[in-house]
Structure 1
């Protein structure tokens, strides 16, 4: 292996290096029995992050609209965190989608089909608010907060 191949495998990551050696990981969601493309397939990471940004922006707007008079900006931002938690729990428990997810054509479902129960939605939201579990993904692109409640974000 020359220096270019070694550098190329380092830049492309361990998955690409393993695939070059013959490992077959399949597509994201294959192990979960989900289709590769279209409705019901794993939601792309970019769309999930964009939905999170949209939801957070809505929560900031609500917080500033309700609390902006006579309060410091940091207080309003802290309340946005609370509003985000409430928004997530209420919308995921009732519609299986937050406004951002719905706008981008995503939905949260239990593995095997169906909606998550209220307890699972609350647990998932708490783990999402802790950030670290949501930032750690498996090879299917599911965060630990989704894995803990046996859920997956899919395209509508």
Structure 2
């Protein structure tokens, strides 16, 4: 909304002035801004696709595609979890996040590290924590790990 439109509407409530990430000290747009839902979901789908391709290459068993459920059925989930844990710990983003130009960062600017990335990965595997989002746009997994997903450029 332009300044001219705001002046016609009268005083602006405090919540209208703020954007997702404002309270965290993040910029509204560009590098370092909070990642949008489209980029997050695309990165997640890319990571999941890659994990499934790796799992099929590792297992190479036709029984993966048949019932009943066995331990082999969890190989894609295990590959996905290990990939997002180690990639976040080493380079600050999963492969899908890198492809979407996103990075997982701590608010104090220090590297994420193994412990925080492990907490974050386990919570992502639980599915629900990333869907519980606060006013700043951070999922519960990021809040508990002390991280935030931002744009790298």
Gaps of 5+ in 1: 1-20
Instruction: Report whether the alignment pairs 1:66 with 2:62.
Output: no
The question of whether the paired residues in 2 share the 8 Å contact of 1:60 and 1:77 is answered with: no
Give the one of 19, 23, 27 matched to 2:13: 23
SS in 2 for 1:72: helix
Aligned residues: 136
Give how far 1:82 is off. 0.2
Gaps of 5+ in 2: 1-10
Instruction: Report whether the alignment pairs 1:34 with 2:34.
Output: no
**Normalised by the size of structure 2, how large is the TM-score?**
0.83
The equivalent residue for 2:124 is 128
CA distance in 2, matches of 1:63, 1:33: 40
The question of whether the paired residues in 2 share the 8 Å contact of 1:108 and 1:115 is answered with: no
Give how far 1:78 is off. 1.6
Instruction: Report whether the alignment pairs 1:149 with 2:145.
Output: yes
CA distance in 2, matches of 1:115, 1:49: 23
Matches within 5 A, 1:1-150: 23-25=13-15, 26-73=18-65, 76-150=72-146
CA RMSD of aligned residues (A): 1.6
Give how far 1:117 is off. 2.0
Runs of 4+ in 1 over 3 A off after TM superposition: 74-77
